[in-house]
Amino acid sequence: MSLFIAEGLFKHFGGLIAVDRVSLTVEPGEIHALIGPNGAGKTTLVNVISGLLPLDAGRIILDGVDLTALPPHQRVRHGLSRSFQITRVFNNDSVLDNLLLAVQAQTGSSFRIFGRRADKSGLRERAIELAQQVGLGEALDRIARALPHGAQRQLDVALALAAQPKLLLLDEPLAGMGPEDVAEMVALIQRLCAETAILLIEHDMDAVFQLADRISVLDYGRVLTSGDVAYIRDHPEVQAVYLGTEAAR
Amino acid sequence: MLIRIFPWTLLLVLALFPLVAPLFDFTYYVGFVRHLLIVMIAATSLNFILGYGGMAALGHAGFIGVGAYTVVALVDAGFTSAWGAWATALIVSAAFAAAIGAVSLRTQGVYFLMLTLAFSQMLYYLAVSLRTYGGDDGYGLHTPLTLGLGLGDAQGRILYWLVLAIAALLFAFLNRVAVSRFGYALRGVRENETRMAALGYPVYWIKFTAFTVAGAVAGLAGALLACHNRFVSPSLMHWTESATLLVIVVIGGLGRRWGAPLGAAVWLTLAEVLKLYTDYWRWPLGLLLILIVFFAPKGMAALLDNRGKSP
Ligand SMILES: Nc1ncnc2c1ncn2[C@@H]1O[C@H](COP(=O)(O)OP(=O)(O)OP(=O)(O)O)[C@@H](O)[C@H]1O
Ligand SMILES: [Mg+2]
């Protein structure tokens, strides 16, 4: 059985159908890329899978567990974690404090009101490990909002990694990055797939062709087609819908 | 070093004040400081949810009223133990806060503000309608509650010292919570609720817990206020009282350790002094608020705090 199964996901905003009966799977160790033009419903799909937006219909199963009815924080506990297209980090805190907060969520109750948050609990080691993993090992004391864009994107991904997910949803991790940062992030994603399966949303076609094991194309909320890199690259409809718009920009 | 000994020195000075005051004919001010300490308790609890939790509640006086009317109800029923009354007030206002929080916390921002305001106004009109407790006219507590343990009645200097002890303990407790795991999570929710949910935090329950604790503490402040004034009326929970608390926390310093005590001290002292000179004492206070918002938007505590950062 697949690691992750989404079945008939449906989401509308008033009259606008943003996600239209989307079904897809992710296999263990796989990078499944999801591409599609602006407004295709990719972020909405990530939002309903992670539970930040309620689903109108459909089912979500991860590692045999039905997550459909669970609130977002419990989905994380079951191994589903996500990053954000528009960077969402704790802007006023240092990189280390950002990561400490992310790690804290995974280690014991956050309803303990007595006693200082102890450093001896291993939070710090784990936080530093995460920083090093994404290439922020030298930036621990930097305030997040003062980081360059590329580093902020790395921090965003590191926060998602703290949960040690079985499935990681990356929503355009390369958004707005320069070529150097892109190369670094692509290398990071390549390393990550040893630890977790990835559903990768991305506009950068070179990166997608380089990283993906499988690609699905989303348009007007629907999965248009799905296949390996070679199949998608040469698919006429895909070229019209997606690569066409890409070329036109 | 100075930071270390300052709280203890302050506590000592406040503890000695009722003994020294009669020598200088300052006895009136013992009552003033007692009132100030009670307002500090309420403001500290509001700072906990507003400053640390980012929940803009405009109904905090409602919980003060619930605490005060709990005392009234107990006294009216012939109950006389101060400890029992205070503990009951704490529990009853926690229950009210839990119920109101359960509904209000499903919304955010201005909707949350409106809902908390609406609930506190409901409590206000409920108190007005309670004829047995005097309705609009309020309810006088003619005999003070008793403390037992050889402490006599809950009034005068004994009440002052008890209020001081409770204020100090609650202040220490809430500051302790701020650096606990819960405190970090609460501030995380203030900074970025969506990310907190995506990190695996039960955001709603974190807010709910903080809101309930703050409501309970405000209720205790209300119970103490009932004993302090020996009189309780619906005006305690008029929405302007909630707004004043909000202003106190904002000028003091949102989410800062000394924010609420400092804000309460400055606000009440200025009001007291200005009232001596003019009937129009409100507008200089308004001016102060405007100046602080423009020149020290992080509050007075931030000006003193040279680290320039909340804990
Ligand atoms: N909260 C919302 N309320 C109403 N409409 C929304 C909401 N979120 C998204 N939409 C609409 O749903 C559609 C899909 O948006 P979505 O953000 O999922 O697209 P996307 O594929 O992620 O686009 P992009 O490539 O620009 O990130 C768009 O038409 C968008 O305007
Ligand atoms: Mg998007």
For B53-78, what is each residue's pLDDT tens digit?
999 989 999 999 999 999 999 988 88
What CA dihedral angle connects B32, B38, B42 and B48, to 10 degrees? 110
Facing A73 at nearest CB: one of B177, B182, B197: B197
pLDDT digits (tens, 9 = 90+) for B252-265: 988 888 889 999 99
Check residues B11 and B210 and name the one with the higher pLDDT.
B210
- Per CB-CB distance under 8 Å, the chain B contacts of A110 are 181-182, 184-185, 201-202, 206
B236, B238, B243, B244 alpha-carbon torsion, rounded to 10°: -30
Question: Quick one: pLDDT at residue B218?
Answer: 96
B183 interface with A at CB cutoff 8 Å: yes
pLDDT at B296: 82
| Set of chain A residues whose Cβ sits within 8 Å of the Cβ of B184 | 100-101, 104, 110, 117
Provide the shortest C-alpha distance from residue B156 to chain A (in Å): 33
Ligand 1 test: best mutation among A44, A53, A56, A200, most atoms within 8 Å of CB? A44
Q: Which range, of B37-41, B114-118, B186-190, B288-292, averages the lowest pLDDT?
A: B288-292
pLDDT tens readout for residues A62-76 = 999 999 999 999 999
| Buried/exposed code over B266-275 (b: 16+ C-beta within 10 A; e: otherwise) | bbbeeeeebe
CB contact under 8 A, B181 and A104: yes
Return d(Cα A173, Cα A153) in angstroms, integer.
Answer: 7
pLDDT for the residue B310: 45
Interface probe, candidates A110, A155, A161, chain B, greatest B C-beta count within 10 A = A110
- Provide the pLDDT for residue B19: 80
Query: Do B43 and B249 contact (CB within 8 A), yes or no?
Result: yes
Average confidence (pLDDT) over A144-173:
95
Q: What is the mean pLDDT of residues A128-138?
A: 93
pLDDT tens digits for range B88-132: 999 999 999 999 999 999 998 899 999 999 999 999 999 999 888
> Does the pLDDT at position B309 exceed 50?
no
Q: In the beta sheet, which residues pair with residue B271?
A: none
B107 vs chain A: nearest CA distance in angstroms? Answer: 15
Q: Which of A13, A47, A82, A170 to mutate to test the pocket of ligand 1 (most atoms within 8 A of CB)?
A: A13
**Given this model, what pLDDT does residue A248 score?**
43
pLDDT of residue A135 exceeding 80, the answer is yes
Q: How many angstroms separate the CA atoms of A65 and A84, rounded? A: 24
* pLDDT at residue B308 tops 50: no
What whole-number percentage of chain A has pLDDT above 90?
Answer: 73
pLDDT over 70 percentage in chain B = 96
Pairwise pLDDT comparison (A108 vs A135), residue with the higher score = A135
CA atoms B67, B72, B77, B83: torsion sign:
positive
Query: What pLDDT sits at residue B9?
Result: 84
Determine the residue of chain A that is closest to B191 in CA distance: A90
Q: What is the pLDDT of residue B281?
A: 78
pTM: 0.91
Are B47 and B250 within 8 A, CB to CB?
no
Nearest CA to ligand 1 atom 8: A44
3-state SS, residue B186: helix
**In this predicted structure, which of A118-122, A207-211, B64-68 has the lowest mean pLDDT?**
A118-122
CB contact, 8 Å: B206 with chain A? yes
pLDDT for B191 equals: 95
Q: Which residues contact B74 (CB under 8 A, 6 or more apart)?
A: B84, B85, B88
Mutate to test the interface with B, among A49, A62, A73 (most CBs of B within 10 A): A73
CB-based contacts of A227, cutoff 8 Å, min separation 6: A214, A215, A235
| pLDDT score of A114 more than 80 | no
CA of B1 to the centre of ligand 2 (A): 52
When pLDDT is cut at 50, 70 and 90, the band that residue A205 belongs to is confident
Residues of B in contact with A102 (CB under 8 A): 199
> Over 80: is that where the pLDDT of B307 sits?
no
**A217: pLDDT strictly greater than 80:** yes
Of B84-88, B125-129, B290-294, the range with the lowest mean pLDDT is B290-294
Between A87-96, B121-130, B189-198, B285-294, the lowest mean confidence (pLDDT) is in: B285-294
Mean model confidence pLDDT for chain B: 88
What does pLDDT average to over chain A? 90
- Ligand 1 site, CB within 6 A: A 13, 16, 18, 36, 38-44, 85
**For a pocket test of ligand 1, which of A42, A201, A219, A223 has the largest count of ligand atoms closer than 8 A to its C-beta?**
A42
With CA atoms as reference, the chain A residue closest to B185 would be A110
Q: What is the pLDDT of residue A57?
A: 95
The domain segmentation of chain A, as residue ranges, is 1-79+166-249, 88-164
Q: Is residue A120 scored above 80 in pLDDT?
A: no
Name the pLDDT band for B165 (thresholds 50, 70, 90): very high
Number of Cβ atoms within 10 Å of the Cβ of A54 = 9
| A106 or B188, which is more confident | B188
Handedness of CA A68, A74, A78, A84 (dihedral sign): positive
Task: Between A50 and A232, name the one with better pLDDT.
Answer: A50
Q: Which residues of B touch A163 (CB under 8 A)?
A: 199-200
How confident is residue B223, by pLDDT bands cut at 50, 70 and 90? very high
A159–B195 CB contact, under 8 Å: yes
Place B46 in a pLDDT band, splitting at 50, 70 and 90.
very high
User: Is B80 exposed, middle or buried (CB count within 10 Å of its CB: 0-12, 13-18, 19+)?
Assistant: middle
Give the confidence band of A245 by pLDDT, cuts at 50, 70, 90: low
Q: Which of A77, A82, A110 sits opposite B206 (nearest CB)?
A: A110
Question: Confidence class of residue B311 from pLDDT cuts 50, 70 and 90?
Answer: very low
CATH architecture of A1-79+166-249: 3-Layer(aba) Sandwich (3.40)
